[in-house]
Amino acid sequence: MTVAVGQEDLLLDRAVREVVAAAKAADADTDVRDLTPEQLQPGTLAELTSPSLFAERKVVVVRNAQDLSADTVKDVKAYLGSPAEEITLVLLHAGGAKGKGLLDAARKAGAREVACPKMTKPADRLAFVRGEFRSLGRSATPEACQALCDAIGSDLRELASAVSQLVADVEGTIDEAIVGRYYTGRAEASSFTVADRAVEGRTAEALEALRWSLATGVAPVMITSALAQGVRAIGKLSSARGGRPADLARELGMPPWKIDRVRQQMRGWTPDGVAVALRAVAEADAGVKGGGDDPEYALEKAVVVIARAARSRGRA
């Protein structure tokens, strides 16, 4: 028995595929029944799991188990108390309070549990990409993993597909340049690319990336958010006491690879420059949220001010 808990569809589907693959490896003739709550009516599970004259092996997958009717839940709980040896039961459960009694019963019965949480945080998606490369036996630099997340976005299926494509097409370690070549339009449209070029003082490249981003539909509010993160990272690191990247990462809440990148970006910055840039970001944020007539102009102005502030040390 397996219970997959969470709301990330890709991970839930993978949990099912792994169980089915294992069952098929043991018996190629294994029968697979993939059922929704509407299809699993009272009595259906008993029928599917009843002893077969030919000792037929089955995998019974129950999706959205939290939505099963009360009578069907009783059937499933009864089966959990006396499972059949030739049957593999897989319950997909969203987690949470709904249907928790069934989830608890599966756990109590000793079901193997697979966590399939919805990945809403960028750090979770970054860890997912790293894990995808590792699972395929390949290495990718931290910068490449971040670039892929920036280029593809939050869809796990697309991220997994992109990793598979890179692994299939590229030999050796996958770095940021390779990701850029494969996902040129999407990577260049990233709001974080705009922010990186701006805090590095590369005005023309930052403006080019900004115009491409807006032309390809990136929301202006996402760009101001990325600019704010970039400038704040400069400010946080410049005011932190020295130390190893790992120590600073813990102190500032950044991954070690980002500490190295921000260190390179902050070379031309001064405390006054950071203050000027933060004011520019705040003005742009107000402009894109209805405080101004032209959100694109507000962003262009902020990018120019930030890039100029990035070179403030050289002018001092």
* Contact assessment for residue 248 and residue 254, using Cβ atoms and an 8 Å cutoff: yes
Cα–Cα distance between 127 and 131 in angstroms, integer?
Answer: 6
Q: What is the predicted pLDDT for the residue at 177?
A: 87
User: What does each of the 316 residues of the chain score in pLDDT, given as a tens digit?
Assistant: 999 999 999 999 999 999 999 999 999 999 999 999 999 999 999 999 887 656 688 999 999 999 999 999 999 999 999 998 889 999 999 998 999 999 999 999 999 999 999 888 888 999 999 999 999 999 999 999 988 887 787 788 889 999 999 999 899 999 988 988 887 666 555 788 899 999 999 999 999 989 888 877 777 888 998 899 899 989 888 877 666 666 776 777 777 777 778 888 888 899 999 999 999 999 999 998 877 678 899 999 999 999 999 987 655 4
Q: List Cβ neighbours of 191 (8 Å cut-off, separation of 6 or more).
A: 150, 213, 218, 222, 223, 225, 226, 227
Residues in a beta bridge with 5: 93, 115
pTM of the model: 0.61
Residue 46: enclosing H or E segment and its boundaries?
A: helix 44-48
- Where does 136-219 have alpha helices with state H? 142-152, 156-169, 176-182, 184-188, 191-199, 203-215
Q: What is the predicted pLDDT for the residue at 316?
A: 45
Q: List Cβ neighbours of 300 (8 Å cut-off, separation of 6 or more).
A: 207, 210
Q: What is the predicted pLDDT for the residue at 264?
A: 85
